[in-house]
Amino acid sequence: MSILKVDSMQCVSTDTSISMNNAVYFPTGTLTDGATINWNVFDNPTCQVTLGGNRTLAAPTNMVDGGFYSILIIQDGTGSRTLTFNSVYKFNAATAPTLTTTAGGKDLLIFRSDGTNMLEAGRSIGIA
């Protein structure tokens, strides 16, 4: 088996397995809150956003087939904020999740992309 060792961050392409001796993770990025929230999943595969009002999450940009992406949605100090999802987000039972309404409440959504859509892989609503 071929092993590729990456000593410094650089763009690589290989057909071999990749092994890391230490944890690999995506630092949490913060999306900009606004009436429409944009998510560049290349820049922020793991991200969070604090909703300051009723918002719409636009179709993400730069998703790739097989990519896993997660978003932590945080209610602001008022709470009861809703999030409308673009139709590329595909949910269990074809029903967009109802977020927690608690001020400061958190909901975590995880998606796997098929390159066109974001398929819900899991959700944790009302994380305390």
The answer to the question of residue 96 lying near another protein (CB under 8 A) is: yes
In whole angstroms, give the CA distance from residue 75 to residue 105.
5
Report the candidate in 103, 98, 96 with the shortest Cα–Cα distance to residue 80.
103
User: Does residue number 101 form part of the binding site for another protein (CB under 8 A)?
Assistant: yes
Interface with another protein (CB under 8 A), residue total: 18
Q: DSSP class of residue 52?
A: S
Q: Which of 82, 92, 102, 124 binds another protein (CB under 8 A)?
A: 82
Is 91 a binding residue for another protein by CB under 8 A? The answer is: yes
Report residue 93: phi and psi, to 5°. 60, 20
State the residues that interact with another protein by CB under 8 A. Answer: 54, 56, 59, 80, 82-87, 89, 91, 95-99, 101
